[in-house]
Structure 1
C-alpha cells in the first residue's frame, strides 16, 4: 500500500484537523494518538508537494481553523467564544465542575434529572416524540462544541469522585461497586437532546459526531451495548478521526464473527483499516492476512509507535516471544520516553527470564514517571522475577490505585497471590480482571488454576473452557481442559481435549513467524511429550492397549524429533475442530508441516519419554517380546532414569530369552 503526494497531503490535513478538534474538546488521548500518527507520516518530496499546492492562493486557510460549515453552529461558537475559553481553561486546570457550570448550571441538570425520575411514562414517550419540558427546564441553546465540553467535564468529574469514594484496593469494603453518579445526568441530558432534534421520520440532522460518542460511552456504562454500538457507529461516520470512539467499539466486540459483521457498516477509510487490524490483534488473531495489513500500514506510517506496538503484540500472541521482544526493543529505541504498553514488554522479558533487560526497563520507567500504572506494573514484574512476591503485590496495588481499570495489574496480582498461596485474594483479583475485560484469557485461565488447586474441578473446567474459547488455538488451554477432565474421570473427553492441544500447538507453530522472523523456534514436529504421555495413560486406563502403545511410541519418538509414523494432521479425525482461526488443517499447511518436521532436532530425553519407554518395556514383557523389552530397558539405564527397575527388567528379559533358547534346543 502506498500513497501519492496528494493523498499524503490530504491525510496529513485530516490528522491535523483531528488533533485540533480533539484538543478543543479536551479529548487529550485521542489528540495525542492522532498527533503521533501525524508525526509518523513521512513528508512527500518537495517537488511533488510544490506541484500539489501550486493552485493554492496566498490567502490559504488550513482546514483545522476554518469556521464551522454549519452557519448556525458557527454563529453560536462565535457568540460563546469567551465562555468557551473560560470553560476550557477550567478543564485544563482540572476544575471539572466549574467547567461544566459555565454552560450547564447544576440547577438545570438537577431539574432535568428529577423530571426524568418523577415521570417514567413521560420518559418512554420522549423516546418516540419530543415532549416539551417546562419553560424553566428547556435545554440551553448552545453550540455542540460547548455542550460536549460541559458534559464531558461532568463525566470526568464523576470519575474523579468515583475514585475518591472507592475503598482501598482489595480492602474489606472494596467491592468494585462504586459507580460514576454523573453518568446518569449526562445520559438523560443527551437522550433529551437527541429526542428534540429527531425529525418526524426518525432521522437526525447532521451533527459533529462528538455528542454521539459521549452518549455511546454513557450507554456502555449502563450495559446497553446494542444502543451504544449504534451511536458509536454514527459517531465514526460523522467524524472518523476520533480514536477514542474506535476504542469504545473495540471494547464492545467480543468475537471475530462480530467484527466481521460490523466491518461492512464502517466508513471505508484508513481509520477503519487501522481499527480492524487493532481489534483483530486484541482478539488474539494471527495469520498472514493480519500481518500483511500491519505491514501495509507501517509502509504509510513507518515510525508509528502505535502500529509498531500492534506488530509486537501480534508476535506476542503468536507465541513468537523472541520476535516480540525484538520489536519492543526497537520501539523503545525509537521512542525512549514512551511508557504506553511497556507492561506487555515486561511480561515478555519475564517469560524469557531476561532479568538484566527487565531491570533496565524498570529503572527507565521509574526515571520517566514512577506514578504511571505501566511503570508500577513493570517494577512489579521485576520483583516477581526476583521471587519477591510481597513487593510485587505492593507495586501492582499501586498501579491499581492510580488506575483501577489497569488489566495487567489485576491479572498479575492474581498470579502473585497464587504464588503466596492466598487463593481467596487470587480469585478476587482474577474476577476483577474479568470485570475490566472479559476477553482476558489469562484471568479465566488463572481462575481455572486456582479452583483446580482447591480441587473444585467442575468450577476449574468451566473457567478453562472460557479461556480455551478465547484462545482456541493455544495448546496450553486445551491441555488444562484435558487434565481437568482426566481428574473428573471423563477419560474420553479428556483425550479429545488433549488431542486438540496437539493440533493447537501445530497451528501456532505454522503461524509463529508472521513477519518472517528468523528467531521463531520451529516446533511443528515436536509434539509435547507430556501431552502424548497423558493421552496414552488415559487410553491405558480405558483398556485400549493398541492406542496407548501408539501414543507411547509417539512420545518416545519426540526425543529425536521424528513423528514416529504418526501424522499430526490425522488427529483432526477424532477432534471437533473449531473454524475460528484461519488456515486450520489445509493441505498446503500439512505439506509445510511435513517439510518442517523432517529437519527438527527433537526434545532429547525427558521424564515423560522415560516413563513412556518404561511402559513400552513392560508391555513388551507382557507380549513376550523379550528382545524389545531388553532393548528398551537398556536405553533406560543409559538415560539414568528408573535405573534399578530397568536393570530388573533386563535380568528378567534375558532369563526369559535364555529359557526360550534352551527350550528350542
Structure 2
C-alpha cells in the first residue's frame, strides 16, 4: 500500500488538530501520542515557512460544537488549571451545572479520575490485607446514570462524552454496548488515540479482531489512524508478523523518525523472539531519544532474557536518574535486581511500579514470575490472575498460571491455563510443549501427541526436541514401530545439526533395541555404537546391547 500525498496531508492536519483538541480536554496520553507521531514525519512533507504556526490556531472539531460564552470560558480555564494540579474533585465542582459539551466532558472526566484516585488510595498495599482487586471506582454509578440518560434520550453527545461513556460501560462489564459507543465516538472524532486504545481492550481474540477490521475497513476507508490502531492490536494479539509488517511498512515511510513507530517495530521483533533485531532497534531508539521511558520496560525484559547484565545495569541507572518514580523505571530496576538473583529486591520494585499504576498488567505477570522463583505458588497465582483481569490477552500470565499449578502438582488445572496460552500464541512451541507435558502427566497420550506434533511444526530452531518426545510417547503407548520412526528422524536431525546431547544416546539405544528385536543386527550394532561415547548409563547399556548382538551372531553362526 502506498499513501497518496493528499492522504498524508489530511492525516498530518488531523494529528495537529488532535494535539489541541485532546490537550484542551486533558487527555494527555492521546495528546502525547499525536505529538510524538508528528515529530517523526518525514521532512519532505513539512511546511518550513515561518508563518505556519499562525495558520493553525483553531480546530475544525471545536468549531462544530456550540460556542463558549465568557462565563463558561472562565470556568473552563479555572477547572483546567485545577485538573493540571490533580485537584480532580475541585475541577469537577467548579464546572457543576455546565452543559456545554466541552465543559461537560471535563467535569465528568475529572469526577471519574477523582474516583480512580480514591480507589487507589483505599488499596495501596500490594497483595496486602487492604488490597482488594474488586474495589470499584465510587463515582462510576453517578457518571453512568448521567451519561446513560443522555444517551437513551438521544440527547446530543459529543465524541468525548461518548468516549467516557464507553469507558464506564466497559468498567460495568457491558462490553458490547461499550464497543458500539466507542465506535460512535470515533466516527464523530477519529483522532482520539485514547478512544482507540479503549476499543482495543474489548478485542479479546483473533476472530473479534478480523470482524472489527472488516467493519473499520468498510466505514473508515483510507484512515491512517485506523491502520495504526490495527497494527498495534495485531501486535497485542500476536498475529503473524507479516500481517503487522504489511500495515506498518507504508506508515513507517511517512514517519521514518517517529519514536513511537520505532518502538512498535522493536516490540514486534521481541514478540516473534527475534531478540537480536529487537535489541538493535531499541538501541537506535535510545540513541534518538535517551530520555524517552515508554517501552523501555520491554527493552529491560529483552535484556533480562538475553542475560545482558551490564547493559541492563546501565539502562536501569539511566532511567532511575531521569525519573525514579515512573512505573516503567521501577519495572526496569526490578528486572535489574532479578537478573542479579536478588529476588526480594526485585519484588519490592515491582510492587512500587504497581503502586504507581495498578493497571500495569505486564508487571503483575513479572511479579508472578518472581514468586514462582521464591517457590510461593499461591502468591504467583494471585499475581497472574490480576494480570489476566487487566489484560486477558497476556499469554505470559496464562502460561504462568499453568506453571504455578504444575508446581502445586495439579496438572489438570494447569492444562486449562496452558490451553489459554496456546489459543493466544498458536505458533509458539513453548506453549504446546508445556501443554503436551501436562497431558502426558495425566496419561492422556493422544492429546500429548497432538501437542508435540504442534511443537515440531512450530519449532523452527529445533530447540525443543519434539521428535524424541513423540518417540517416548509412542513407546509408552507400546507402539514400537511409530516410536522407531521418530527415533530415526531424531537421529537424522541430530546428525545434520551436529547436536551432542544425551537425546542422541537415547535415540541410538532405542533404535538399537528395536533393530535387535527385528533381527537386523547390523543396524542394531550401528545405532548402539552411537551411545558408546556417552557417560553412564548410556555407555553401559550400549555395551550390554553390543554384547547381546555379538552373542546372537555367534549363536546364529553355530546353528
Which TM-score band (shorter chain)? over 0.9
Q: How many residues align?
A: 554
TM-score relative to the length of structure 1? 0.79
Q: Offset of 1:347 from its aligned partner?
A: 1.4
Partners of 2:375 and 2:488 lie apart in 1 by: 38
Are residue 528 (structure 1) and residue 464 (structure 2) matched?
yes
Find 2:396's aligned residue among 439, 442, 466. Answer: 442
Partners of 2:15 and 2:24 lie apart in 1 by: 14
Q: Offset of 1:66 from its aligned partner?
A: 6.6
> What's the CA shift string for 1:59-93, capped at 9, x where partnerless?
974263579434x711x354411111111111111
Partners of 1:381 and 1:59 lie apart in 2 by: 44
Partners of 1:339 and 1:214 lie apart in 2 by: 27
Partners of 1:162 and 1:276 lie apart in 2 by: 32
Are residue 172 (structure 1) and residue 129 (structure 2) matched?
yes
Report what 1:259 is aligned to: 209
> What's the CA shift string for 1:260-296, capped at 9, x where partnerless?
2122433231111111111101100124232121111
Are residue 646 (structure 1) and residue 531 (structure 2) matched?
no
Find 1:212's aligned residue among 146, 153, 162. Answer: 162
1:19-418 correspondence to structure 2 within 5 Å: 19-44=19-44, 61-62=55-56, 64=58, 68-70=62-64, 73-74=66-67, 76-104=68-96, 140=97, 142-198=99-155, 205=156, 207-266=157-216, 267-268=220-221, 269-418=223-372
TM-score relative to the length of structure 2? 0.94
Report what 1:433 is aligned to: 387
> What's the CA shift string for 1:197-224, capped at 9, x where partnerless?
44xxxxxx5x541110011011111111
Partners of 1:395 and 1:350 lie apart in 2 by: 15
Preserved CA contact (<8 Å) 1:377 1:408: no
Q: Offset of 1:560 from its aligned partner?
A: 2.4
Partners of 1:77 and 1:311 lie apart in 2 by: 46
Preserved CA contact (<8 Å) 2:124 2:355: no
Are residue 555 (structure 1) and residue 490 (structure 2) matched?
yes
Report what 2:16 is aligned to: 16
Partners of 2:30 and 2:448 lie apart in 1 by: 47
> What's the CA shift string for 1:207-266, capped at 9, x where partnerless?
541110011011111111011111100111111111000000111001122122122433
Find 2:473's aligned residue among 535, 538, 545. Answer: 538
Describe the SS at the equivalent of 2:136.
coil
Partners of 2:436 and 2:4 lie apart in 1 by: 54
Preserved CA contact (<8 Å) 1:343 1:374: yes
Relative to 1, partners in 2 of residues 1:212 and 1:653: Cα closer, same or farther, differing over 3 Å? Answer: same
Preserved CA contact (<8 Å) 1:605 1:639: no
Partners of 1:19 and 1:330 lie apart in 2 by: 26
Partners of 2:326 and 2:125 lie apart in 1 by: 18
Q: Offset of 1:182 from its aligned partner?
A: 1.0
Partners of 1:242 and 1:450 lie apart in 2 by: 40
Relative to 1, partners in 2 of residues 1:68 and 1:437: Cα closer, same or farther, differing over 3 Å? Answer: closer
Relative to 1, partners in 2 of residues 1:490 and 1:8: Cα closer, same or farther, differing over 3 Å? Answer: closer
> What's the CA shift string for 1:455-498, capped at 9, x where partnerless?
11110111111111111111111111111111111111211121
Report what 1:135 is aligned to: none
Preserved CA contact (<8 Å) 1:502 1:527: no
Q: Offset of 1:146 from its aligned partner?
A: 0.8
Preserved CA contact (<8 Å) 2:334 2:345: yes
Relative to 1, partners in 2 of residues 1:73 and 1:79: Cα closer, same or farther, differing over 3 Å? Answer: farther
Describe the SS at the equivalent of 1:15.
helix
Report what 1:626 is aligned to: 521
Partners of 2:332 and 2:268 lie apart in 1 by: 20
Partners of 1:97 and 1:78 lie apart in 2 by: 23
Relative to 1, partners in 2 of residues 1:619 and 1:265: Cα closer, same or farther, differing over 3 Å? Answer: closer
Relative to 1, partners in 2 of residues 1:472 and 1:187: Cα closer, same or farther, differing over 3 Å? Answer: same
5+ unaligned residues in a row in structure 2: which ranges? none
Partners of 1:402 and 1:544 lie apart in 2 by: 57
Relative to 1, partners in 2 of residues 1:608 and 1:78: Cα closer, same or farther, differing over 3 Å? Answer: farther
RMSD over aligned Cα atoms: 2.2
Report what 1:127 is aligned to: none
Relative to 1, partners in 2 of residues 1:67 and 1:477: Cα closer, same or farther, differing over 3 Å? Answer: closer
> What's the CA shift string for 1:84-115, capped at 9, x where partnerless?
111111111111111001112xxxxxxxxxxx
1:406-555 correspondence to structure 2 within 5 Å: 406-505=360-459, 509=460, 523=461, 526=462, 528-529=464-465, 531-555=466-490
Report what 1:597 is aligned to: none
5+ unaligned residues in a row in structure 1: which ranges? 105-139, 199-204, 510-522, 562-601
Q: Offset of 1:350 from its aligned partner?
A: 1.2
Preserved CA contact (<8 Å) 1:527 1:558: no
Partners of 1:620 and 1:300 lie apart in 2 by: 63
Describe the SS at the equivalent of 2:504.
helix
Preserved CA contact (<8 Å) 2:455 2:464: no
Describe the SS at the equivalent of 2:201.
helix
